[in-house]
Amino acid sequence: MKRVSLLDASIGIGTILGPQETPEPTIPQSRSLASTSLTTTSLEATYAPSNIQTVLEEAICPDAGDGGLLIPSVFSSNLQKCKENLSQSNQIEIQNFLQHDLEPLIDNEALLKMYVSLMIEG
């Protein structure tokens, strides 16, 4: 073993340990899968990278359940309730949202119907 001066600032951990060869991994790291949640496990499921399209769709597409929320009359009444509840707020940002975004959407029924049909039909 070499003698090393602890006060020498030019010596690092690599100098003390010497060159280390790190072997290239031959197989990907496995992920643990609970046997109770899956009935069968495949190599594809174990080593598959996250599918970015699926992750993105889950992030931007809210769960609408059975679609009852998107029925035009229900959707419109929910917007009206939101407007009534938000109009009680004194925050400037909320008042701006009401005035510039929510009220025009409620007033423009054609736009509202197009939006709802787009959400239902995809």
Can you give the pLDDT at residue 27?
72
Q: Look at residue 48 and tell me whether its pLDDT is greater than 70.
A: no
| The model's pTM | 0.41
Determine the angle formed by the axes of helices 109-121 and 72-86, rounding to 10 degrees: 120
Which of 50-59, 73-82, 91-100, 106-115 is the most confident on average?
91-100
In whole angstroms, what is the distance from residue 78 CA to residue 122 CA?
21
Mean pLDDT rounded to a whole number for the chain: 74
Nearest to 30 by CA among 17, 6, 47: 47
